Amino acid sequence: MKIAVAGDSAGEGLAKALADHLKDKHEVAEISRTDQGPDAFYANLSDRVASAVLAGEYDRAILCCGTGIGVCLAANKVPGIRAAQCHDTYSAGKAATSNNAQIITMGARVIGAELAKDIADAFLSAAFDPEGRSAGNVKAIDDVDAKYNKV
């Protein structure tokens, strides 16, 4: 699986730890931010990564900031993206199986690297079943997205 991992100034250490952990099992791209210009802001970094996921450059992505909230909000502004903030393994698995999330987000000031690695593994090992019980809910999410974003 092709995975993008990125973090802002608060999340780049956690993002690096996750990328290093995942490299043995996946094709991992570490998306770097800049200290100046548009990518200095987590919203723009999130947009760049989410847009690349939507374009098929990556299968999934993990974004990190201080809380995981800002990068999640920004990623979800990209029409067609479903990003979920996850600070436990159960939610990470469900983000994939129940919500067909392409991106999870985590806060480096909220959880440690070892738990983050477990969360990433739970997310990346889970798959959405388009014929499953949650398919209707995901379709409804996509319909709301299309209503406002004209995907």
Q: How many domains does the chain have?
A: 1
- Find, among 82, 64, 58, the residue nearest to 12 by Cα: 64
| Confidence (pLDDT) at 32 | 76
CA distance 22 to 3: 9
Each as own residue / partner, the long-range contacts of residues 51-56 (CB below 8 Å, 24 or more positions apart, any chain) are 51/78, 52/4, 53/4, 53/81, 53/102, 53/103, 54/78, 54/79, 54/80, 54/81, 54/102
| Confidence (pLDDT) at 41 | 86
Cα 21 to chain centroid distance, Å, stands at 16
Q: Do the Cβ atoms of 3 and 29 come closer than 8 Å?
A: yes
64 catalytic, yes or no?
A: no
Structural domain boundaries, residue 73:
2-149
pTM, rounded to two decimals: 0.94
CA distance 72 to 126: 19
Question: Helix H segments across the chain?
Answer: 12-22, 42-54, 69-75, 89-97, 113-125, 135-149
Q: How many residues does the chain have?
A: 151
pLDDT tens, per residue, the chain with 151 residues: 999 999 999 999 999 999 999 999 999 999 977 666 666 789 999 999 999 999 999 999 999 999 999 999 999 999 999 999 999 999 999 999 999 999 999 999 999 999 999 999 999 999 999 999 999 999 999 999 999 886 5
β-partners of residue 3 are 28, 60
| Confidence (pLDDT) at 33 | 73
CA distance 114 to 47: 27
Q: Which of 64, 65, 72, 86 is catalytic?
A: 65
CATH of the domain at 59: 3.40.1400.10
